Amino acid sequence: MSTITKIRCPNCGSFAQRKTIRKKDLIETSCQICDYFLVCTGDRGKVLEAYAPGIDC
């Protein structure tokens, strides 16, 4: 079962989508405007995959 929530994108501030996938205990955040994408575990928040254009490390 999945739950989809509208949130503000942490990269650009526009509306984004956060999908919680309970069966696999994953949280996926994506923004269609700036192409931000993040997949992390729900229990510890470990990042599994991330793509955030415009953020320099």
> Where along the chain do its domains lie?
2-44
Residue range 2-56, pLDDT digits in tens: 899 999 999 999 999 999 998 899 999 999 999 999 999 999 999 999 998 876 6
pLDDT, position 25: 92
Q: Record the pTM.
A: 0.83
7, two tokens = 């949130």
Query: For position 56, what pLDDT does the model report?
Result: 61
So what's the pLDDT on residue 1?
A: 77
31: buried, middle or exposed (CB in 10 Å: 19+, 13-18, 0-12)?
Answer: buried
